[in-house]
């Protein structure tokens, strides 16, 4: 049986936006409900995710604060609408995926969070390639929705050929940490037997699982850090948001040594 949170807990009360809070809103009141959900259905959909959200936010406040801060930085990093380049739209769409990943993590949908991270990562790789080769025929077809073959691996291969012989070519080589990270993300996107919802939950529904939370958290940091390396390749004058520099300072991150090496090469940071 479920029980309500005490009213003193800020998470116990739901909030909705006023009509004028929306970009295209007005001052008119919201219409009354026209087909309100039944309490039983509402509870059936939300009881488990709500339970997980409370438990995760009880014990992972620092991680959630960092992910929220990184997402906020990413919104700024997308750039100004008046100065759109090929990366702009890809980074904007990636922003939505990153926000979804945070929401999915909070509610215990770990595989869905990882899948969103994978999509965000791929979009940044495609946008980086597009910024450097905006007239590429296959990229142009992809923008029109007519070419599904243009993806992470194709763009990585193209970038490797473009930078062959330079100091950053290794970043796009097969088997290096960007490619390895993407391959690992793909396992969860496709729900391989050892990378499925059940494998992450060790249960048949969204539940609190410390190992799964840590995995999503680490994947998130990996995607942010590698994506910022790609953005710097696609936008040589890009300046990394100050608070996001922590991505290259956390020595326990999975690929810290390689990530730091690339960061120093691309951003000119001191050793």
By the 8 A CB rule, do 201 and 212 touch?
yes
What is the C-alpha separation between 88 and 76, in angstroms, rounded?
A: 11
Burial of residue 126, with CB atoms counted within 10 A of its CB: 0-12 exposed, 13-18 middle, 19 or more buried: buried
Question: What DSSP string describes 120-141?
Answer: HHHHHHHHHHHHH-TT-HHHHH
Give the lowest-confidence range in 24-33, 70-79, 189-198, 244-253.
24-33
Determine the average pLDDT of the residues in 239-268.
97
pLDDT tens-digit readout, 194-204: 999 999 999 98
Rounded distance between C-alpha atoms, residue 7 and residue 10, angstroms:
7
Query: pTM to 2 decimals?
Result: 0.95
**162-196: per-residue pLDDT in tens?**
999 999 999 999 999 999 999 999 999 999 999 99
Pairwise CA distance, residues 208 & 53, whole Å: 8
Residue 94 CA, distance from chain mean position:
7
Residue 188's closest CA among 218, 149, 156, 157? Answer: 218
Q: At what angle do helices 256-267 and 210-234 cross, to 10 degrees?
A: 20
Tokens 């992809």: give the residue: 142
């Amino acid at each position: 049986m479920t029980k309500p949170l005490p009213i003193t807990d800020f998470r116990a009360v739901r909030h909705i936006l006023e009509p004028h809070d929306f970009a295209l809103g007005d001052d008119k009141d919201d219409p009354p409900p026209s087909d309100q959900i039944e309490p039983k259905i509402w509870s059936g959909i939300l009881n488990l995710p709500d339970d997980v959200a409370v438990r995760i936010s009880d014990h992972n406040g620092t991680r959630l604060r960092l992910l929220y801060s990184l997402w906020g930085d990413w919104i700024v990093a997308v750039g100004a609408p008046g100065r759109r380049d090929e990366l702009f739209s890809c980074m904007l769409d990636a922003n939505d995926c990153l926000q979804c990943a945070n929401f999915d993590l909070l509610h215990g949908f770990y595989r869905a969070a990882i899948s969103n991270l994978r999509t965000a990562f791929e979009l940044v790789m495609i946008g980086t390639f597009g910024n450097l080769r905006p007239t590429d025929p296959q990229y142009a077809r992809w923008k029109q929705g007519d070419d599904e073959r243009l993806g992470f691996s194709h763009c990585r291969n193209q970038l490797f050929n473009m930078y062959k012989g330079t100091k950053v070519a290794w970043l796009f080589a097969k088997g290096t940490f960007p490619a390895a990270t993407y391959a690992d993300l793909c396992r969860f996107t496709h729900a391989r037997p050892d990378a499925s919802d059940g494998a992450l939950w060790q249960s048949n529904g969204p539940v609190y699982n410390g190992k799964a939370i840590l995995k999503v958290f680490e994947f998130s940091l990996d995607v942010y850090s590698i994506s910022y390396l790609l953005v710097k390749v696609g936008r040589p004058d890009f300046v990394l948001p100050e608070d996001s520099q922590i991505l290259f300072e956390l020595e326990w991150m999975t690929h810290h040594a390689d990530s730091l090496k690339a960061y120093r090469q691309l951003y000119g940071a001191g050793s």
